[in-house]
Structure 1
Amino acid sequence: MKIVSMHIYGYGQLENIKIDSLSDFQVFFGENEAGKSTLMSFINSILFGFPTKQQNELRYEPKHSTRYGGNIRIYHEKHGYAVIERVKGKAAGDVKVVLDSGKVGGEELLSDLLGNFDKSLYQAIFSFNLQGLQNIHQMKGEDLGRFLFSAGTLGTEKLAKTELELQKELDMRFKPGGRKPILNEKLQKVHEISQDLKKAAAKLKDYESLIQKRDQLQQEMAEINKQLENRNIQAEKLKEWKRIESIAKEEKWTKKELETLGEIEFPVRGLERLEKLNQLILPLEAELKSLSERIRHVREELGELNPDCDLLKEEQVILTLLDQIPLYEQLSVEKGQYETKLTAVQTELAAIKEKLHLPLNEEEIQSINTNISMKNEVVNLSRQGEKLADVKEELDILHQQELNELEALEREVRLTESLCLPEIERSQLEQQLRNHDKTALEEELNNLKEQIQFNQLSIEQQKAANEKLRFQFITIELILVILSLYGMISKQWVLLLIGLAGCLILGFFMFQSLKNGKEIKILNNLNKLREKEKQIIEILQTASYQDIRSLEEKLKLDDQHRNKLQILKLKLKQQKANYKKIIVKFEEWESDFANYTEKLLSIGKELKIPEQMANTLLLEAFEQIEQYKAFIREKNQLIERISNIHQKQVKLMEELSHYGYRYLSEETLDIHKISYLLRNKLKTENEKRIKMEERKAKIADLESEYQQKEKEWQSLKIEHDRLLNEANAETVSQFYELGEEAEKRADLMKRLENLKRQLQYSILSEQERENFLAIRNCDELISDCQKEIDSLRNQWKELQEEQSRVQYEIQIIEDGGIYSDILHHYKQKKYELEEMAKEWGVYALAQNILAKTIEKYKNKHLPLLLSKAEEFLSFLTNGNYHRIHLHPSGSGFLVERKDQTLFEADELSQATTEQLYVSIRLALMVTIYQNYKFPIVIDDSFVNFDAKRTKLVFKLLHKLKQNQILFFTCHEHLLSFFPNENILRLEKGAVQIVS
């Protein structure tokens, strides 16, 4: 899976950020707080959900935006391109996955794309950060080996931590031969209580017989309690019967009366229903009579209306024609406008034809080709003619300029040749000059001048040094004078002597050092050099040397003339070449002009214009022909439109006249009069039709109402007859008699229900009430039952006193031996021991399962992982360490150096340990999880490496082609290892590509 692009709607400080075209090895560079952690969290949140408020992670909700979330576009080897979008919604956000194939899904489709990985597993396998390397620096001994082994299995230190925590929990609970662990203490306590329990059991000889007697007394008391309960129930029932006796007897009488009346079939509320039906039937009969009379009256009004149906059938057609009357007027106006335009177009045609003055008719001009291609040729040809004319004019100017310059150069060459000395004369002058050594004297003169200048500079430097030395002597002299004065004033004679002696000594040295011996020597030497310079100048100014100077000047002047002549000849040669180029361009122009003339004549012939016009006015003639053809087309269109308008007007007039002749009495009317009369006629007939339809609708409503009322009357009549049938009454009076008997029966039933409600709360059942009806003296039975209850209570009291005595003796025995307390304490401690043992067993089982899992992993997956890790470690260490072995006594590793020396993890240097950690983590990705090609996220994991190690680790990462790598860093010196197109710079919520 590869992340192609990201769009962040709002996430922390990142708002509306788009990152496109991510590379296979993408670097994100930014200083602290630039947004690197935010961007890493955004990728995890889109793939696995926003952190919930219960999780100890930042949610990065934006402060200045309401949109929270974004989308990531990925490429999946199985599903192709897909867009994963997650926005604010439920706790982890609402996710939407859209494949390029059109499939849309949610969490299930996303889980399929991610291979059911969760966030913690992804970060453990495919995420690097400084925390893993810092853990290496903090560990020592066997813990470091366990951590590296855990990193090779789960990607994190969880396995090592889990293994240590399990062993810690087991040791805290139990150790063989130990005393402080909890289980060891519990076992010792249970053993001690068991010894005390055995001693207390020896004192229980009389205890068992007392226990048996106590149980027997409890059984006898239970039997008496049962008898008491039965007698109490019997007494309660007798008292209840005494309370409800009158109600039960009235219930029995009411049942007999109902049996006497028997069953009566009479409708429920029959009398009331019959009265209501009679109140509804009589008004309905009156309404039916009134509706019948109204229907007859409306039918008479309908017969008086008789609209013209033929006219109304053609109403829509006539109205359409009448609506076209304004169109008739508009057509007349348009016809006049078109006729005016036609006159103007004909005038233009005549003017253009006069301009062209071609012996052609309209059909011949129409046949001339003036399409876009021809127009393009004419325009291009016209432009070509203008261009050729411009080129000709420019060539004429250039030709004259080049010719003038050529002639000027030739004149100047001839003049310069005349100024040069003949070869014989020049040879003689050179021979004379060679006979006099003037150059040596001039060189000697130059050397003298340089020496004089040097001596002058030395004198100036010597003067400056003397001034500086004099200033120093004066300063020291002043200090010594002050010291002498101070000694004299303070009468310290030693200081006075020292000051005076110093002044004398310093004065002597000052006198010696400031003598101008060196300066005088330099001045003498300078005078000698100036004298010699004067002598050489006098020699050079003699007559013989003046002649030599004249010779030199002549030769020098001749050299200048010869150099100038050589330059002029070169310019002349170049100018001749330029002139020839102008001639060649003239020839090219003549060739182009000939081709142009040929094309011009060909197109003029095709356009049917004379040759003279084609040469001078081709474009104007073409435009006039094109305009003439356009006016001809416009003229034909105008003529056609005028004809169409005339036909429409004639057709409309004929149709209106037809309908006027059919439906109007007047004849020979104009179109406006016909239109007015037809509209009035249609209005009148429509009013008749509307009235007729209103009367028909009224009749239909009245008939519908009549039918409805008639149905109601029939329904009420049927209900009336049915009431009589339900009561089996032939007359209304017989119905009323049956109703009175039904009301009496209903009253009895109501009374019976009331009695039953009173009896339903009684404890006596119906059968028990029937049995109690035979009792004559209820109070006597109640008294006898009460006597039996008192007797049973006395017996129970005697047994209770005996039971208390026996229980007291048992209590004495139990208090004396404390047996029950010891037994209870023993069972409690034994239970606690069993629960603690179960808890220890859970941890022991977990440790066993973990050990078996590790062993299985060692045998199945670890060999392949170690092989790949050895390859990576050898590459990172330049072959210094090439083998990784499992530790024989634990879950750590042994690393073999190239000299076959074995090292435990804590014996390696920190940098080598980090390289081992990186090798194991990368090997875990490309072996065990090779089918899951997720992006690898690295957060500044190599900042502790030196330049050589850093270069090697990046070179190794570039070899992992199957996984995209996203590298986040704040160290600018690491950017030199990557091309600029692979670097994105993060700057406070913005992203830019490094160029």
Structure 2
Amino acid sequence: MRIIELHIYGYGKLEDYVIKSLDQMQIFYGENEAGKSTIMSFIHSILFGFSAKQSAENRYEPKNTPKYGGKIKALFPDRGMAVIERVKGKATGDVTVSLEDGTIGGEELLKDLLKRMDKSIYQAIFSFNIHGLQNIQAMKGDELGRYLFSAGTLGTDKLFNTEGLLLKEMELRFKPSGKRPLLNEKLKDLKDIQTSLKNAEQQNEKYSELVSMKDELMDKIAQLKNEIFMLEQTGIKLREYKRNEKLVIEAAALDGKIKMHDPSFFPEDGLNRLEKLDEQLKSNQARILRVKEKREQLLKDLERHKPNSDLLGMETEIEARIENLPLYDQLKQEKRLLESKLEEITEEIDQLNDKLHTDFNEVNIHEINTSIFIKEQAENIEQTEQRLKTKKLELESAFEEEKKTLAELEARAEAAKEELLDEAERTKLVKDLDLLGNKERIHSELNYVMDQIESAKIKEETEKDRRRQQQKKDFNQLLLLGSILLIVFLWGITNGSWFLAGIGIAGLFLLLTARFKFADKKPMEDKVLSRLLEREKALKANLSSQPEGNAIFIKSLLAKDEETRLRHRELYIKIDQQHDRFEKVVQQFESWEADETQLKQRRTELLRQFGLTDTSAPIKVMDAYHLIEKQKQYFRERKRIKESLKTVAESLMEMESSLKQLAQRFLQNSDLAPVEAAGLLKRTLREAIDQKSRYRELSAKLEEMEEELSSLQKEEMVFSQEKEGLLAQAGAEGEDGFRQKAENSSLVKRWKARLEDIDHQLLASGISDEDREKILTGIPLEEQIEDNDSELVERKRELSAKFDLIADVKHKMKVLEEGGIYSELLHKYKQLQHEFTEDAKEWARYAVARDLLSKTIDRYKNERMPRMLARAESFLSILTDGGYVKIIPQVSGSGFLIERNDHVLFEANELSQATAEQVYVSIRLALAADHYDRYPFPIIIDDSFVNFDHNRTARIIKLLKEMSNNNQILIFTCHRHLLDYFTENEIINLQEKSANIV
């Protein structure tokens, strides 16, 4: 399958998007969000259906258009061109498939074209991306080998994940050396209970004996029940025998009569058949007499109409000569035409010799070599002449153009030089610009300092307000505290408590001291504000001493001069480049002259091989070749005409001779003209043919009559034999005996009918032939019924005794079981054993699944993997430049060993990261190539080689180009450096295409 064209109606952000003429190798390049993933998903969706709404995959439904879907035009090797269109409809979309032979179908036809391939298998085998390489980077140890093996089996990590999942589920349930898994715990519990149960069982031997006795009684009861059932069935059967005894006796009597009166076979409806055969024999004999009379008359007529066999024997030759008579005139006309054409072609040969100024004849013309190689040389010379003429015109035009361009560049360079400023003037402007720049810096700094001063003043006012409020607050607090201390002092004085009075006076003293100290302290002058004012004064003084001027104007002049200088340097560089191009044109002129000289030598040599010289009339090489080839054809044509003329003359002579001989033989006249002789021979032959036709008719009638006579005689013989056979079947010597046996046969039929009725009745009652024998020849039925009833009563009495005995045993077991120890342990043991069995079955299912997976892996390794690995080894050798040469499956389980070119083996986890990625890519490509015979589908690759260096990238691109001879390969990438490996026709730039569509 090869995809030819994509037409996206609406898919994601792509609307009415068309990509035509996809090659075997096609690169889709675009930056992020350019639509690469959208196009890949579109291809998968059109071929296999849109993703379900609840699926994890994106459906890419468009936001700005109701159209959803598109179509793919693809070439299928066995069905031709097909157009696959899928639009919005049911869950996966409505699909229409149109083939070039007019066939139109739906989903079923598409599945046939895709050979029942589904989306997941296609993506696993033919579509892979960088995620596979990322998985390799995240894996360690044995996981990497198993992952590579899974990729080579299914194309994905499903096999690897499945194997890990099964092993995990098994280990959750059981580990040989584990303790925590479920089965390990239950097995330990089961062993503990079994030990306890054995101990209880040793203490309860009597209970075991009762169990054994109970089992024996149960077996005996089952046996007695079965015997009672059999005796009851026997009694029923014997009573049925008794009821049908009379019919059995009657049937035996009728059977005896039939055997006595019908010892031999008598044919069915024998009497009527005998009478019918007698009538047929009489009619047949009368017909035989009539046919014999007619035969005698026909023999006489045949003798009268016997034809001339000699003339008829020459019928074919005479008719051929007569039919060739028009050819005789045609050959005479053809002879005249050939003679005329021979003269014309001889004249053409002479004219061509005059044109070529040569004297070619049938001998020397064939010595001239006009093979396909000479023709190629002539065409090459003529094409080279035309190419050199064209090249000369191009070189002359290029010479003038380069010369003109050089003059224009020199003129522009001079003009730019005149626009440049003098060095002294430029130096002065630079110096002034520096001074003006300093003035601007001072002015800017002054503005900054003034802003800082203003900010400091505002801050100072704010601080003063805060300080006044704080002083007022402190005064109120001191006043309150002082009042409290004064009250303490007065209280101490009044009550004679000198300690409290001392505390009060000391506290008042300290408060007054602190108050006066803070009141006397004045705020310090703001040092920051002073420094800012001094800096402002200095900057104003410096600013007044700076020169006046326009810095913007000076900057524009210097910038314009710098731009002019840059343009002047660029023009001188272009002039140097133009001088180089001019010199190249001159060198090309010299090369052209050398090619012209070499071409003249080749032309002279080729004309010499044609037998011509340059001094001949001027003629082109190809014209000379065509004229010589034409001359050869003329000579061949003249030779053919001569041979044809000779053949025609011989044919005319042969026709005249044969007609004379036939006229002499059958007309006795050899002097007749060919036309007259042919007419007389024709009339004579027609008369002989008519006579022969009449003779044949009479012969045919005679044969028919002989056949009729033979048939009648055979019928007579058959009727006689049938009559004799009928008598023989009945065993009768004559017709009278036969008739007597017919009467006996009728009587036997009636007896057989009655016997058949009895048989039906006995069969409905279930009486077989064996039962009939027992009824007729055995013990009387009354005695058999009496004996059976007696035995049945005995068995029932014995069964009742066994029931009484087992009831007693069960009662004793119940008494023992009420102790509880053994019964509880036994119940718990059985329950735990049942649970263990169920859990073991669950573990066994996973074990069987893992075993089947292992066997499937082994089968794949032995049957399919060798072919795939051979191809993967070839790919790996190319990708690693011969560094690694073999991929060897592990002897057991999954995984690979990789062999280096020095025969050293490595496990997958021992390889470098880049080499492991190369192994993965080799296996994936080999897997796709291995499935190409059955599924010739495109390979889709999404940025899977971005981690490769330039050498490895070049090798993988080379390998993919070789594979594109079979598979179509579509590569999606956002890395521009990969485009260097492909031609322009192989690259589709999605950004440019989107811009064109917009």
Indicate the TM-score class for this superposition, using the shorter chain for normalisation. Answer: 0.3 to 0.5
TM-score by length of 1: 0.44
Larger radius of gyration: 1
